[in-house]
Structure 1
Amino acid sequence: MLAIGGNLPSEIGDPIVTLKRAVLMLNDVKSRVLQVSRFFKTPCFPAGAGPDFVNAALVVESALDAEEMLARLHEIEAEFGRTRETRWAGRTLDIDLIGGGDVVLPDAATYAHWRDLPLEEQMKAAPSQLILPHPRLQDRAFVLVPLNDVAPDWIHPVSGQSVAEMLNNLPESDRKAVVPL
């Protein structure tokens, strides 16, 4: 499962155009997009850091392993002008590997460390390796609302909760801030 978003225009157009083109690029010899959620307008995080985002979620089938898929996602982001200079800065395209089946990478302890990292540390530190499932997916309406469109029954391999359950655990104000386009 992937989360895709952007809040800055790329060379080909606004974030909606960019996201649609990126989804097409994910269909290649080794990967196939099975489902795409609706597109949603979501508030920029942290608040005031830039224009609102457009976000969506995808279910993808791939012959690539998680590391290879992450490398492919970074290649696609770069093709649309994505740079990684400032953590949580505005971006033309962001594609995150959210989870896959019951995979936990690299291990449960490392996953728990990143999941439990205080917000002020999250803003400064980024893991040097792939962490799956995404350690803060359960906290992010901009991921869970679109993901609920395409995979409401996916079970988080650590918490044991479905996407629908994780979404229902978020404050109503967070859920309502994610608006279909």
Structure 2
Amino acid sequence: MAHTKFKGQVVKLFGEFIQINDFAPNFHLVKNDLSDYYLDYAKGKNVVLNIFPSLDTSVCATSVRHFNKIASQLPNTIVLAISKDLPFAQGRFCTTEGIDNVIALSDFRSPEFAQEYGLLMEDGPLRGLLARAVVVINPEGKVIHTEIVTEITTEPNYDAVINLLK
């Protein structure tokens, strides 16, 4: 069982975190306009999953802004920002912040996403939300990079993603 920390407190994650060389399970999430989005829509491209608890926290918002800046520099790549935030809140954030290179997705209807990727926090103050993680999937659907950020209050390793996909 994987884990992370929130302000130094260990937080257990439900399920097994997806591993490098696994084929990424397809998922069904919701876009800001309430339309469906499936991982299969990105077939043939590199996909960066920027997964986090909520856009209402400074670190989560910063990660989306940062991935928005680098997304245009990554060839044949789609960046998906995934949280349990409602699509309305995600849309408001993306409009206000000028986020146009990242697709914000909500898993509020799809509990299987958190379970299949092993990222549902099952204890601690943020239980029920997604842990902060980055998963990179190649055009064939195979996982080529994973990171569970060891402390939720810190940002992911952007350079690892950039160096892998450039």
TM-score (norm 1): 0.31
Higher strand share: 2
The higher-RCO structure (CA 8 Å, 6+ apart) is 2
TM-score under structure 2 normalisation?
A: 0.33
Mark the structure with the bigger radius of gyration. Answer: 1
